[in-house]
């Protein structure tokens, strides 16, 4: 019975699509339930030739690739309805198809010159592939005809081998920079190839200086962990300097009762959680400090000791964010109530509280 209902649903949706094509109308996106029912119908009929990428995305599936549409159709047609009747099952099917197709493509490239990217390798289930080694991966794959790269494990072995070779070359190059007392040629690519993570291009000059400072003991740069330690130390030092400068700037703003010059980047530099800082909540300065708004308003109404640490500033941002959300919620609820009364030509339920919530929220 359930299967029959799903078939009927699939038929109805198909008819709607045909009517839409001939009437010049645009069919809006399907609801997730309708999209899943449509796909279940394809599976039940062993025929998914009408499947669209949009059917999968409407069903809540991510990571679809239009190049793999034919393979999705084949997989769905071969499945039973109960194997594709949820978003999770469809996502698993798409992921499996993407994996298999990526492995097939890479295996074929062993005998056909082409560029293989880190993104493609990741899709094939490989970990640790980096963009800067794309050309080396491509060369290694082209020369691997006899290896039959038909599994993730085989491709992983090849990629890991390339990474190891490139890391050795990069580490030796970085050591040479130290020994030659000149690291001007250092790039972020060399650091990436050496296996280092957390690289900040803005700190490159500091990395170069730190490497040159080890000219007397280049053994401190003879492995990935040692170079990683150097990069992490530089990153921490730069972050600490930015934090101190940002907090000092904010303290001056509090002292002068004017936070006009304070930006969201200043708050981020002060060490605040990135997602918590909202540009829309920065607020504005007013000559009458009590009327200043947002983060700037709270900073201006405080004194330097109120804003002299990351934790205090984080508290300010959290409190302002919560207050603004509460205000917006109050406004939206009041507006909804007023609209409902207007639509029903009946304002008997309208109260002074509702009107005040709308008026106060709107003016804040």
For the record, the structure tokens of 95 come out as 């992921």
Residue 270 has pLDDT above 90, yes or no: yes
Confidence (pLDDT) at 333: 63
Answer yes or no: is pLDDT of 82 > 70: yes
Q: How far apart are CA 359 and CA 344, in angstroms?
A: 21
Q: Looking at the predicted structure, is the pLDDT value of residue 20 above 60?
A: no
**Mean pLDDT, residues 318-342:** 71
Cα distances (angstroms) measured from residue 322 to each of 66, 325, 327: 42, 5, 9
DSSP run (H or E) holding 228: helix 224-256
Calpha distance 357→326 (Å, rounded): 11
Predicted TM-score of the model (pTM): 0.72
Angle at 16 between CA 12 and CA 18, to 5 degrees: 120
Q: Please provide the average confidence, as pLDDT, over all residues in the chain.
A: 87
pLDDT of residue 26: 44
Q: What is the pLDDT of residue 343?
A: 64
Q: Are 339 and 308 in contact (CB under 8 A)?
A: no
Contacts (Cβ under 8 Å, ≥6 apart) of 162: 133, 136, 137, 140
Q: What was the pLDDT predicted at 143?
A: 84
pLDDT above 60 for 84:
yes
Residue 5 has pLDDT above 60, yes or no: no
Spatial distance between the Cα atoms of 83 and 93, rounded to a whole number of angstroms:
9
Q: What's the residue count for the chain?
A: 364
d(CA 327, CA 270): 27
> Per-residue pLDDT for 250 more than 80?
yes
Range ranked top by mean pLDDT from 6-15, 256-265, 290-299: 256-265
Q: What is the Cα–Cα distance from 332 to 320, expressed in whole angstroms?
A: 18
Q: What is the pLDDT of residue 199?
A: 98
- pLDDT digit string, tens, across residues 114-155: 899 999 999 999 999 999 999 999 999 998 877 789 999 999
Name residues whose C-beta falls within 8 Å of residue 119's C-beta, 6 or more positions apart in sequence: none
Query: In this structure, are residues 334 and 281 in contact, taking their beta carbons and an 8 Å threshold?
Result: no
Please state at what angle helix 134-142 crosses helix 152-179, rounded to 10 degrees.
130
Closest CA to 30 of 46, 22, 41: 41
Mean local confidence (pLDDT), 174-185? 95
Q: Helix H segments across 24-84?
A: 32-44, 53-58, 69-78
Question: Model confidence over 188-203: pLDDT tens digits?
Answer: 999 999 999 999 999 9
| pLDDT-based confidence at residue 329 (cuts at 50, 70, 90) | low
Residue 181 has pLDDT above 70, yes or no: yes
- On the question of pLDDT at 263 being above 50, the answer is yes
Q: What is the dihedral of CA 269, 275, 281, 283, to 10 degrees?
A: 0
Nearest to 213 by CA among 184, 182, 241: 182
Share of the chain above pLDDT 70, in %: 82
Neighbours of 122 (CB within 10 A): 13
């Amino acid at each position: 019975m359930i299967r029959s209902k799903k078939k009927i649903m699939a038929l109805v949706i198909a008819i709607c699509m045909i009517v839409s094509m001939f009437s010049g109308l645009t069919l809006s996106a399907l609801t997730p339930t309708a999209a899943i029912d449509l796909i279940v119908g394809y599976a039940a009929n062993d025929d998914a030739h009408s499947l669209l990428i949009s059917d999968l995305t409407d069903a809540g599936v991510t990571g679809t690739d239009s190049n793999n549409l034919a393979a999705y159709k084949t997989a769905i047609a071969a499945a039973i309805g109960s194997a594709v009747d949820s978003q999770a099952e469809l996502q698993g099917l798409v992921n499996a198809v993407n994996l298999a197709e990526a492995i097939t493509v890479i295996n074929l490239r062993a005998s056909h010159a082409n560029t293989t990217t880190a993104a493609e390798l990741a899709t094939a289930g490989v970990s640790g592939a980096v963009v800067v080694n794309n050309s080396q991966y491509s060369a290694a794959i082209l020369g691997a005809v006899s290896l039959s790269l038909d599994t993730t494990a085989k491709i992983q072995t090849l990629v890991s081998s390339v990474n190891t070779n490139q890391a050795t070359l990069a580490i030796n190059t970085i050591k040479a920079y130290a020994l030659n007392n000149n690291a001007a040629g250092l790039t972020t690519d060399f650091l990436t190839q050496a296996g280092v993570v957390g690289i900040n291009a803005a700190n490159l000059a500091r990395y170069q200086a730190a490497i040159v400072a080890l000219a007397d003991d280049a053994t401190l740069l003879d492995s990935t962990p040692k170079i990683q330690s150097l990069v992490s130390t530089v990153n921490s030092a730069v972050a600490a300097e930015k934090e101190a400068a940002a907090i000092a700037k904010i303290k001056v703003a509090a002292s002068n009762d004017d936070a006009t010059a304070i930006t969201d980047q200043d708050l981020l530099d002060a060490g605040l959680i990135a997602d918590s800082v909202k540009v829309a909540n920065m607020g504005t300065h007013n000559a009458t400090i009590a009327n200043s708004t947002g983060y700037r308003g709270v900073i201006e109404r405080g004194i330097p000791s109120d804003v002299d640490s990351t934790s205090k500033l984080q508290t300010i941002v959290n409190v302002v964010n919560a207050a603004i959300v509460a205000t917006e919620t109050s406004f939206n609820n009041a507006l909804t109530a007023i609209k409902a009364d207007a639509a029903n030509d009946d304002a008997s339920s309208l109260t002074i509280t509702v009107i005040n919530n709308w008026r106060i929220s709107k003016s804040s």
